[in-house]
Amino acid sequence: MATTVGLIVVRGPTETPSAAFRRSRDQHKEKTVSTFLEEHGRTHMCGELREENIGETVTLMGWVSKYRNLGRLVFIDLRDRSGVTQLRFDPHHAEEIHDVATELRSEWCIAIIGEVVSRGANKNPDMPTGSVEILPQSLEVFSKAETPPFVIREETDAHEDLRLRHRYLDLRRGPLQEALLTRSKVNALTRNYLVDNGFAEFETPVLNRSTPEGARDYLVPSRIHPGKFYALPQSPQIFKQLLMVSGFDRYFQIVKCFRDEDLRADRQPEFTQIDMEMSFVTPEDVIEICEGMMAAIFEGVHDIDVEPPFERLSYDEAMVRFGVDNPDLRFGLEISDVSEAVADSEFRVFSGTVARGDVVRGICVEGGVEEFSRKDLDELEEQVKIYGAKGLAWVKIKSDDWSGPVANFIGDDEREAISAKMGASVGDLLLFVAASADVACASLGNLRKDLGNRLGLIDEDEFRFCWITDFPMFEEEDGQLHAMHHPFTSPHPEDLDRLDGDPLKLRAQAYDLVLNGHEIGGGSIRIHRQDVQNRIFELLGLSEQEAQDKFGFLLDALQYGTPPHGGIAFGMDRLLMILTGVDSIRQVIAFPKTTQASDLMAQAPSDVDEEQLEELHLRLIEPKSEENSTS
């Protein structure tokens, strides 16, 4: 076989590296097109060679991952998305190729043709391909590489902003490759499952009309209609309901959604939903389909059985026991309400709080007496203050007595009642928050999650699903009602004839799917009757005219024989974050944005030309901020 040698920098004795690089680049221009790919096809991926391939001549293509020169013997780890194979360049086998190999550097993109041989006694048991190596007979350099700004290997300690600036390099690393390939797999599993269950995939508009409800919209100015704007969808909610009106029966879409709100580790301005809607269904039907879908995804990705049906909790029960509507059920540390037990307490903070109609709730940390120093407890107090708690009262139950700053104010009868309520015994640490129910829930609910992490109570390999049901229809803010889910959510059937009672007591036919403490999906049965829809708008303080202005086309559609329908949407990014065991959704998105909604690689958002603004009938009112002094 002829030896092909492609673009190789062989540096002259007095030549600088950059001069050598330029010279070889210029030489490469003469050889305008490599004919390597016309003559040779890839026969294997780098991660798949095993002992049974010994003796075969293979063609591999990939990147130089690691270079080890032992003098006359050169080893190179060649990497592609499937893994790594070791190449051995030995002057005994091919002198010319060996000389060329000594010039290779990290991240050059190359192809080799060579024989698979056994490593004999030099096997590497830590590599899947560790019992074989390749003796290359020919080598083609497709392209050389500058030294990357950070080393491309499985584990990196480079800061995230640097990696985001060079995302295409970060994405060469194994963990990110796996995450994105898992993402692709979940896409395929989802489509297969839903299509098999009678769902059809439809696209809905991205350029849409702005609706004032909900999150802040991303707006797109219209060139053709001066002064008017499209909005990017926060979700395809109304369109999927219209598809039900049209009779498509079962719809799904894997779709980008946009919300212009502040970011978090699990929130990006553009994110992907698995969006579904079904006609003629009860919540049970939706839940069953979703459980089947989760089972298919988890079996396909991790080969594990998540064992539906999943546990269910009402919203009220979740809030009382766990303080949040997205409880992590992988550990205990449940919250107890001790308001009654401390109503007459000598400790005024407790009794005063109860007298005001607020609550005293606590968490019993089994065996926590030894675990927590005064400093630790101060830290925990800081944690609850974030959520508005004034303080964190604590008591250590030691064998002889209760200790802690407030212990003296708690009488014997009270102690007995508290212990009974919290299931406390000697050696336990009791933590209390006295506050409004909202603050007590938020502070203790989040404290509980912190404690679960801190005490190592969480089995990272466990996937614990839970449905939260019976959400309130409305929440109140400054005397104004807001829809908790969205204004098209149907009231609970048992509450339908109580629409004239206290609206805050109305329950919705809404359900969230929670996995390991993250809300991964939420949906509801929708209102399909116009009279009910009008009543809900009324409760929300929307006049008929306003409702018509905002949602007129949906209301019109409801007049033409609407099937009962309902659906759900899953947060694909959050689901993947849990599936791949990472702690931010940036790690499962190919090109994510920073917490300031910037793309550090593409440098978006950016300035635009005056002419573009003009065409769009826009004028900037803020003076342009000066260029960043750091950039």
Partner RNA sequence: GGGGUAGUAGUUCAGAUUGGUUAGAACGCUGGCCUGUCACGCCAGAGGCCGCGGGUUCGAGUCCCGUCUACCCCGCCA
Residues 422-441 that bind RNA (CB under 7 A): none
Residue 4 or 53 with smaller CB distance to RNA: 53
Q: Kindly state the smallest distance separating residue 208's Cβ from RNA, in Å.
A: 12
Near RNA by CB under 7 A: residue from 4, 190, 237, 336 = 237
Q: Kindly state the smallest distance separating residue 292's Cβ from RNA, in Å.
A: 24
- Which 123-142 positions form the footprint of RNA (CB under 7 A)? 123-124, 126-127, 130, 133
Residue 89 or 347 with smaller CB distance to RNA: 89
Verify binding: residue 10, RNA, rule CB under 7 A: no
Burial of 72: CB neighbours in 10 Å, binned 0-12, 13-18, 19+: exposed
Rounded distance, CA 109 to CA 72, Å? 23
Query: Residue 233: is the preceding peptide bond cis (ω within 30°)?
Result: no
- Which 62-81 positions form the footprint of RNA (CB under 7 A)? 66-73, 75, 77
Verify binding: residue 606, RNA, rule CB under 7 A: no
Q: Kindly state the smallest distance separating residue 106's Cβ from RNA, in Å.
A: 5
Strand order in the sheet with 429-435: 335-337, 359-365, 429-435, 393-397, 402-403
Rounded distance, CA 35 to CA 137, Å? 17
Near RNA by CB under 7 A: residue from 173, 485, 507, 550 = 485
Verify binding: residue 149, RNA, rule CB under 7 A: yes
Verify binding: residue 241, RNA, rule CB under 7 A: no
Q: Which candidate, 427, 466, 453, 451, places its Cα nearest to that of 363? A: 451
Residue 327 is classified by DSSP as -
Near RNA by CB under 7 A: residue from 5, 7, 11, 128 = 11
Residue 41 or 125 with smaller CB distance to RNA: 125
Per-residue mark of binding to RNA, 303-342 (x: CB under 7 A): ----------------------------------------
Residue 40 or 535 with smaller CB distance to RNA: 535
Rounded distance, CA 201 to CA 275, Å? 10
Near RNA by CB under 7 A: residue from 19, 195, 200, 215 = 215
- Which 534-563 positions form the footprint of RNA (CB under 7 A)? none
Element (H, E) at 258: strand 250-258
Compute the radius of gyration of the chain from its Cα atoms: 31
Q: Kindly state the smallest distance separating residue 125's Cβ from RNA, in Å.
A: 9
Near RNA by CB under 7 A: residue from 408, 595, 603, 612 = 595
Near RNA by CB under 7 A: residue from 90, 270, 334, 538 = 90
Residue 259 or 565 with smaller CB distance to RNA: 259
Unique residue bearing structure tokens 């839903």: 194
- Which 170-209 positions form the footprint of RNA (CB under 7 A)? none
- Which 377-416 positions form the footprint of RNA (CB under 7 A)? 386-387
Q: Kindly state the smallest distance separating residue 595's Cβ from RNA, in Å.
A: 3
Near RNA by CB under 7 A: residue from 99, 160, 358, 538 = 160
CA distances to 8, 11, 55, 384, 457 from 372, rounded to whole Å, are 62, 63, 62, 16, 15
Residue 84 or 365 with smaller CB distance to RNA: 84
CB 233 within 8 A of CB 206: yes
The three-state secondary structure class of 334 is coil
Q: Which stretch binds RNA (CB under 7 A): 32-40, 154-162, 389-397, 400-408?
A: 154-162
* Phi, psi of 21, rounded to the nearest 5 degrees: -60, -45
Q: Kindly state the smallest distance separating residue 88's Cβ from RNA, in Å.
A: 5
CB 328 within 8 A of CB 460: no
Contacts of 391 (CB under 8 A, 6+ apart): 349, 381, 384, 385, 433
CA 12 to chain centre: 51
Near RNA by CB under 7 A: residue from 24, 42, 91, 189 = 91
Q: Which stretch binds RNA (CB under 7 A): 121-129, 178-186, 278-286, 298-306?
A: 121-129
Verify binding: residue 219, RNA, rule CB under 7 A: no
CB 281 within 8 A of CB 265: no
Rounded distance, CA 166 to CA 161, Å? 9
Q: Which stretch binds RNA (CB under 7 A): 232-240, 305-313, 427-435, 496-504?
A: 232-240
Rounded distance, CA 119 to CA 197, Å? 50
Q: Kindly state the smallest distance separating residue 271's Cβ from RNA, in Å.
A: 10
Near RNA by CB under 7 A: residue from 119, 302, 321, 518 = 119
The three-state secondary structure class of 186 is helix
Sign (positive/negative) of CA torsion 522, 525, 527, 528? positive
The two tokens of residue 177 are 């490759």
Q: Which stretch binds RNA (CB under 7 A): 50-58, 119-127, 179-187, 526-534?
A: 119-127
Residue 54 or 263 with smaller CB distance to RNA: 263
Near RNA by CB under 7 A: residue from 128, 174, 175, 214 = 214
Residue 78 or 442 with smaller CB distance to RNA: 442
Residue 142 or 150 with smaller CB distance to RNA: 150
- Which runs of consecutive H residues, i.e. helices, occur in 53-117? 95-101
Contacts of 191 (CB under 8 A, 6+ apart): 201, 254
Verify binding: residue 586, RNA, rule CB under 7 A: yes
Near RNA by CB under 7 A: residue from 5, 54, 109, 162 = 162
Rounded distance, CA 572 to CA 518, Å? 12
CB 307 within 8 A of CB 327: no
Verify binding: residue 513, RNA, rule CB under 7 A: no
Rounded distance, CA 29 to CA 42, Å? 25
Near RNA by CB under 7 A: residue from 4, 85, 86, 490 = 86
Q: Kindly state the smallest distance separating residue 557's Cβ from RNA, in Å.
A: 16
Q: Which stretch binds RNA (CB under 7 A): 23-31, 406-414, 422-430, 591-599?
A: 591-599
Verify binding: residue 490, RNA, rule CB under 7 A: no
- The two beta strands, 518-525 and 565-571, are antiparallel
- The two beta strands, 311-314 and 465-469, are parallel
Verify binding: residue 264, RNA, rule CB under 7 A: yes
Residue 326 is classified by DSSP as S
Number of shown-chain residues binding RNA (CB under 7 A)? 75
- Which 440-469 positions form the footprint of RNA (CB under 7 A)? 442, 446
**E strand spans, 386-446:** 393-397, 402-403, 429-435
Q: Kindly state the smallest distance separating residue 597's Cβ from RNA, in Å.
A: 8
Residues facing residue 474 across a β-bridge: 483
